[in-house]
Structure 1
Amino acid sequence: MLKVERLTKYFELNISRSMKVQPFNDISFEVEQGAFLGIAGPSGIGKSSILKCIYRTYIPTAGKVWYDSAKYGTIDLARASERQITHLRVREISYVSQFLKVIPRVSAEDVVAERLLPFGQSLEQARAEARQMLKRLNIPASLWEAYPATFSGGEQQRVNLARAFIVRPRLLILDEPTASLDNETKQHVLDLLNDMKRQGTTMIGVFHDWDVMGKVADRILDLRTVQMSAEYKQLAEAE
């Protein structure tokens, strides 16, 4: 479903002087359909940047991101057009960041329901499904018509997860999805993720909590090992 080949990203910063920051270099991996790949490593090693390159929030400096799309067939997300990326984000790929970004004066149920409208559902049908998803993620009914901007961090993250889960994406990208959740809600999220895996959703994610990641990931890519291997390879080539 997803094949990343020699992915590299660097940023050029111009503050007092020109600097090049390279969060990761020459990263390759594959994820089969219905599998979950966890990405691990210390802060600053490039975990979130890899996810953003896959989702195309960042444009990679080098490398390819092959994705098996329902509409376009096998497509390189690193070089796809903006129109293709927009379609895939609406129809096939969901991304959960650590922060919810929505229009301020829109209710929680409508924030979630809005994701279903491009699939031909009526607003009432979409709201009904949104309420069920919010309920499953422990958002009380008293908050369904309230604005997420007034919610706690954990409540906002549950709305964020509901938006991603409700469309049952082909590819789900998760960046610290459970960091601000209590233990009970974490378990609900894990149950939902495992349900989606059984239904064929492919997932790639970063978790702060290794125990939580271990309960859902089929395989864990430790970037410390990958980056070190790349450094040894460069040294060998130089010799």
Structure 2
Amino acid sequence: MLEVINLTKSFELHVSQVGKVYPIRELSFNVRQSRFLGIAGPSGIGKSTILKCIYRTYVPSSGQIWYDSLQEGRIDLAQADDRTMIRLRERELGYVSQFLKVIPRVPALDVVAEKLLPLGWSQTDARKEAEQMLERLRIPQKLWQAFPATFSGGEQQRVNLARAFIVRPRLMILDEPTASLDRETTSAVIEMLQAMKQEGTTMVGIFHDWDVMEQVADDILDISRSAGDDAVPDAVTAAAGAE
């Protein structure tokens, strides 16, 4: 489903004498369909950068990210044009970040339901589906018509998860999705992730809680780095199969 080959991402530090740094260099791994690959490593090592390269929030500096798409066939996400990425994000790729970013003054119910509209759902049916998703993630009904900007951090993250889960993406990318959730909601999220895997969704994710990681991940890619005397990341290299 997903094959990452020699992925490298560099950043220019314009306010430092260091110049260019490489949080990721020549990283390779693959993930089979309906499997969950967890990525582990120290804070700041570049785990989120890997996910952003796959989703194309970041454009990789070099390397390939091959994805078996239903719409586009086998496609290199590192080279895909913007219109193709928009189509894939609407229909096949899901992404859960650590923070909810939505248009202000839109009720939570519509924030979730709007994800289904590009897929041909009617407004009425999309809202009904959104109601079920918000209920499963324990968002009180009294908040459905409220603006997520007024929610607590944990409530915002549940809306964030609902937006990603409602479209049942083919490839789900998760960046610490349970970091701000209570134990009961975390358990509900774990159950939903396990159900999505059974339905065929492939996942790549990061979790701050190792116990949660072990409950959902079929394979764990542990990345490590070496640093020079100036403590700037020099390289991150790893390889993992799906077994």
Distance 2:132 2:17 in 1: 53
What residue number does 2:134 align with? 134
Show the counterpart of 2:55: 55
Distance in 2, Cα, partners of 1:228 & 1:104: 39
Q: Which residue of 2 aligns with 1:237?
A: none
SS in 1 for 2:49: helix
Stretch of structure 1 that moved more, 85-94 or 11-20: 11-20
Question: In 1, Cα distance between the equivalents of 2:83 and 2:236?
Answer: 37
Q: CA deviation at 1:16?
A: 4.8
Report the residue type matching 1:135 in the other structure: E
Q: Deviations over 1:43-67 (max 9, x none)?
A: 1111000000000000111110000
Q: Does 1:113 align with 2:75?
A: no
TM-score scaled by length of structure 1: 0.94
CA distance in 2, matches of 1:155, 1:87: 28
* DSSP-derived class of the 1:215 partner: helix
Partner deviation per Cα, 1:19-43 (whole Å, 9 max, x = no partner): 2121111110000000000000001
Asked if structure 1 preserves the Cα contact closer than 8 Å seen for 2:38 and 2:206, the reply is: yes
- 2: CA distance between counterparts of 1:229 and 1:155? 34
Residue 111 of structure 1 aligns to a residue in which SS? Answer: helix
- Cα distance in 2 between the residues matched to 1:189 and 1:32: 22
Q: Which residue in the other structure is 2:230 paired with?
A: none
Superposition CA RMSD, Å = 1.7
Secondary structure of 1:50's aligned partner = helix
Superposed structure 1 runs of 4+ greater than 4 Å apart:
225-231
| Bigger share in helix | 1
2:45 is matched with which residue? 45
Percent identity over the alignment?
Answer: 65
Could you list the per-position Cα deviations for residues 128-149 of structure 1 after superposition, in whole angstroms to 9, with x for gaps in the alignment? 0001000000001000110000
Provide, for residues 123-169 of structure 1, a one-character-per-residue CA deviation record: whole Å limited to 9, x for no partner.
01000000100000000100011000000000000000000000000
After superposing the two structures, state which structure 1 stretch, 127-136 or 219-228, moved more.
219-228
Counterparts of 1:16-35 in structure 2, within 5 Å, are 16-17=16-17, 19-35=19-35
Where 1:37 maps in the other structure, the secondary structure is strand
Provide the rounded CA distance (Å) in 1 between the counterparts of 2:115 and 2:157.
Answer: 16
Q: What is the TM-score when the length of structure 2 is the normalising length?
A: 0.92
Structure 1's unaligned 5+ residue stretches are 232-239
Aligned residues: 231
Shift in Å, 1:120: 1.0
1:103, CA displacement in angstroms? 0.7
Q: Please name the residue that 1:147 is paired with.
A: 147
Moved more, 12-21 or 222-231: 222-231
| Match in the other structure for 1:76 | 76
Q: Which residue of structure 1 lines up, in the alignment, with residue 87 of structure 2?
A: 87
Q: Which blocks of at least 5 consecutive residues in structure 2 are unaligned? A: 227-233, 239-243
Please state whether the residue corresponding to 2:224 is helix, strand or coil.
Answer: helix
